[in-house]
Amino acid sequence: MNEQRKKLITLTVNDEVLSIPVESHWTLSKVLRNDCGHTGAKEACGEGACGACTVLIDGVAVPSCMVLAVEQEGKVIETVEGLSKDGKLHPIQEAWLEEYGAQCGFCSPGMIMTTKYLLSKNSDPTDDEIKEALGGNLCICNNYEHIINAVRSAAKKMAKEQV
């Protein structure tokens, strides 16, 4: 594609400031996966219905297939790859492993990022609040019981870390 048609945008992805040439019709999902190498957010439905591509944009959970990359100029993006620090898993990731929150694992990155957003707003959600928050994320394996357990466990782990 003609480089002159691309616009250079700057955004922060997982604490790294990046300048990336993008075309006006490219989604954030495409740019994260193809230009940044962050393949955790999965491309699935392409219409924001499954949640597999969910990332945090300025702290808010958003399906990255539904936003244009050019509109993210100056934004802070966090993907599932950005959760672990210094080789240590984030408490949500630990809970996912301990509670068998992943079966095939395809939905896990989106579920985990949505969980991070939920727990940033509500540190002790009820099961109904968890179900509502994860309502935009689909698990084809029907592993919801383990996922809800993982969210509860993550909330407890994160509360202990803050003491």
Higher pLDDT residue, 5 or 56?
Answer: 56
Count the residues in the chain. 163
What is the structure's pLDDT at 21? 97
- Average pLDDT of span 83-96: 95
* Mean pLDDT for the stretch of residues 12-27: 97
pLDDT of 3: 60
> What pLDDT sits at residue 5?
87
Cβ atoms of 91 and 82 within 8 Å: the answer is no
What is the rounded CA–CA span in Å between residue 114 and residue 136?
A: 9
Q: Which fold has domain 91-161?
A: DNA polymerase; domain 1 (1.10.150)
pLDDT tens per residue, range 30-79: 999 999 999 999 999 999 999 999 999 999 999 999 999 999 999 999 99
Question: Which is nearest to 29 in space by CA: 77, 90, 89?
Answer: 77
The average pLDDT across 156-161 equals 93
- pLDDT attached to residue 91: 97
Say whether pLDDT at 28 is over 90: yes
CB 10 within 8 A of CB 21: no
The C-alpha atoms of residue 56 and residue 64 are separated, in whole angstroms, by 9
> Six-digit token pair at 53?
């591509």
Reference 44, options 29, 57, 55; nearest CA is 29
- Is pLDDT at 4 greater than 80 in this prediction? no
CATH architecture of the domain covering 3-82: Roll (3.10)
- pTM assigned to the model: 0.94
Largest CA distance in the chain: 54
Question: Rounded to an integer, what distance in angstroms lies between the CA atom of residue 108 and that of residue 102?
Answer: 6
pLDDT band at 163 (very low <50, low <70, confident <90, very high): low
Torsion angle of C-alpha atoms 69, 81, 37, 29, degrees rounded to 10: -30
Pinpoint the residues of the chain covered by CATH 3.10.20.30: 3-82
Q: Outline which parts of the chain fall under CATH 1.10.150.120.
A: 91-161
pLDDT tens-digit map of 109-135: 999 999 999 999 999 999 999 999 999
